Chain A
Amino acid sequence: MATINYDSELRRAGANATSGWRRLRFFAQRYVLGTFGLAIMVTFVLTALFADLICRYSPLTVDSAHALAPPGWQHWMGTDSFGRDVWARIVHGARVSLAVGIGSTALGSSIGVVVGLTSGYLSGWVDLVFQRVTDILQALPLLVLALVMTAALGPSLPNVIIAIAIPLIPTVSRVIRANTLALRELPFVEAAKSIGMSEMRIALRHVLPNTLAPLIVLATAQLGSTILTEASLSFLGLGIPEPYPSWGRMLSESAAEYVRVAPWLVIFPGIAISLAVFGTNLFGDALRDILDPRQRG
């Protein structure tokens, strides 16, 4: 009977490889879906970077003679009511949508982590103050809050990112706080205290890394909704100013009026958003497993 030596099998597969490529290949084989997700994300980022090289048309050129043209050889994804090429607008829209999606999720999550960790770890009056402010933020609908923010700051890309990031803070900080409260009571935190570690170092070295799993899941899930929030802001005239394209706005401005006559105006931006969300979710799941030593075996 053949015996399996797991150690040598794992080594051959590259589980313990220290060189980058072998290790990367091991992960790629083990997390096929995650790799697929990463591929989608990389494709989108490259699309956004090299937008000008990819399309024949400018996303802003109005051509009323070919308004609402269906997908075909000339315009792969058709044209909108002004005759602008949908493919070009989606490719250029990737810039805005990804910048808003990734930027605001990253910003909102980082602030949320800091707030949640401080609140949960220090507890006492710090926690009380942070949680009441969070209550107030959560009492307002996200969109209203974002609207007030952009109205105050003025519509521009950085401002839109900030406006969308702020409503994310309460959600993230609540999750991180709950996790921190539970972790704080575990013996390994007490052990860290008993070896004379400072509170700050305990929070960063022992508590924070253990809140990573829910954070990654939450952040990748938020990415999709931030892209859509940007759409709502644009629709209300407070997003990225016209005529620059973003997926969210392409979807929202055509959904009501043209969905029957020109469904491609809704379908293609919709696919782009779904793919971006799908890709980040797949990648986020794999990332969570890769970063957890218990899942690595």
Chain B
Amino acid sequence: MTDAAMTGTPPLLEVTDLVKHYPVRSGILRRRAGIVHAVDGVSFSLGSGETLGLVGESGCGKSTVARSVLRLIEPTAGHIRLNGRDITHLGKSELRTHRRSMQIVFQDPFASLNPRMTAGDIVGEPLSVHGLASGRKQQARVAELFEQVGLRPDQMRNYPHQFSGGQRQRICIARALALGPSLIVCDEPVLVAHISHRVAVMYLGRIVEIADKTELFRNPRHPYTQALLASVPVADPKAKRLTPLVDGDVPSPVNPPPGCAFHTRCRYAMDRCRVERPVLVDAGASHQVACWLNEGTGREA
């Protein structure tokens, strides 16, 4: 019996040991000079109606995870299960029909809309691609979607450059909603943590901590999460600036540090952190953390 069958309803999305490596080639012979470890063993699951926020510095692999989940890039290893079905190796045509159930909203609302198409055509395109509606029926559906995201249907005739950044983002959302997907991935840099049910913190291609939102904010266990939360700007000019908890830069993902990837910048780094890689272990109700500090501290569940 599978896990899913045992727990009753299968999770909407299940990602196991996702790995994405990019070869770095150099020289005229295009020899492989190294590997970028963009995503290095990421696992998480997501229930229907649930939102999961992936947070981390730029370059930590958030977008790579998002694109792999949608099969916009091919993962090097690992499995992606959507609605209980393994979609990691779906063929081209199968994948195309499957795309109806998963959609993405990109980070950059300026580059994600074709400048030569009207907003209405952009939002209506998914419908015509999947043969769901055409002509007047499509127009009506697009108008509906426009209203749903807070745009006026008469703006359908306008071109992307005539909208503000926020409005463009809404066009992107309307396009993602058009197919009625069960999963929407938002590759969106702001406010992610605040609207999510659960939050996963990523560092150098790995998840270092994952927990319910309130739990994570109240009780961050990983030193990196603590540093990240401390660096969130406070909307009060008189607030005292906290001294940063980490300094230095993120190490290169071409040669990630051995052991725990964060040990080069961690205040609590021990000898063990330099050689042995910590795995995600339970640290409370629906709270998992990958850090040796949490072992033997008596703080386990």
Contact = CB atoms under 8 A, between A and B. Distances in A.
Interface string A191-224: 1111111100100001001100000000000000
Nearest to B98: A196
Contact of A194 (B72, B97, B114, B116): B72
Which of B99, B114, B125 has the most chain A CB atoms inside 10 A of its CB?
Answer: B114
B104 A196 contact: no
Interface string B46-86: 00000000000000000000010010100000000000000
A192 B96 contact: no
Given A190-B72, A191-B104, A210 B172 contact: no
B163 interface: no
Interface in B98-139: 99-100, 102-104, 106-108, 111-116, 125-126, 129-130
B99 A194 contact: yes
B152 interface: no
Interface residues of B, number: 30
A195 B129 contact: yes
B275 to A, nearest CB: 39
A198 B99 contact: no
A294 B103 contact: no
Contact of A191 (B112, B115, B179): B112
Given A191-B175, A197-B129, A206-B114, A294 B161 contact: yes
Interface string B204-223: 00000000000000000000
Contact of A293 (B99, B102, B116, B130): B116
Nearest to A296: B159
A187 B175 CA distance: 13
Contacts of B95: 196
Which of A191, A197, A209 has the most chain B CB atoms inside 10 A of its CB?
Answer: A191
A82 B271 CA distance: 99
Given A190-B67, A195-B179, A196-B129, 9 more contacts: A195-B99, A195-B103, A195-B175, A195-B178, A196-B99, A209-B116, A210-B116, A292-B115, A294-B115
Contact of A196 (B67, B100, B159, B175): B100
A76 interface: no
Nearest to B118: A293
A263 to B, nearest CB: 49
A7 B107 CA distance: 31
A194 B104 contact: yes
Contact of B70 (A194, A206, A209, A210): A194
B164 to A, nearest CB: 15
A186 interface: yes
Nearest to B70: A194
A206 B160 CA distance: 14
A188 interface: yes
A210 B72 CA distance: 22
27 contacts: A188-B111, A188-B112, A188-B113, A188-B114, A190-B104, A190-B106, A191-B104, A191-B106, A191-B175, A192-B114, A193-B72, A194-B102, A194-B103, A195-B99, A195-B179, A196-B97, A196-B99, A196-B100, A196-B129, A196-B130, A206-B114, A209-B114, A210-B116, A292-B115, A292-B116, A293-B115, A293-B161
Nearest to B157: A16
Given A196-B97, A196-B130, A186 B104 contact: no
A209 B70 CA distance: 26
Contacts of B116: 209-210, 292-293
A60 B108 CA distance: 65
A211 B201 CA distance: 40
Closest 10 CB pairs of A and B: A187-B112, A196-B99, A293-B159, A195-B126, A196-B96, A187-B106, A209-B116, A188-B114, A187-B111, A294-B161
A291 to B, nearest CB: 8
Nearest to A190: B72
Contacts of B178: 195
Nearest to B110: A187
A267 to B, nearest CB: 43
A209 to B, nearest CB: 5
Contacts of B159: 293-294, 296
B170 to A, nearest CB: 14
Interface string A15-51: 0000000000000000000000000000000000000
A25 B106 CA distance: 40
A194 B69 CA distance: 11
Interface string B155-183: 00001010000000000100100110000
A49 to B, nearest CB: 34
Nearest to B125: A195
Which of A193, A194, A197 has the most chain B CB atoms inside 10 A of its CB?
Answer: A194
A206 B97 CA distance: 20
A187 B176 CA distance: 13
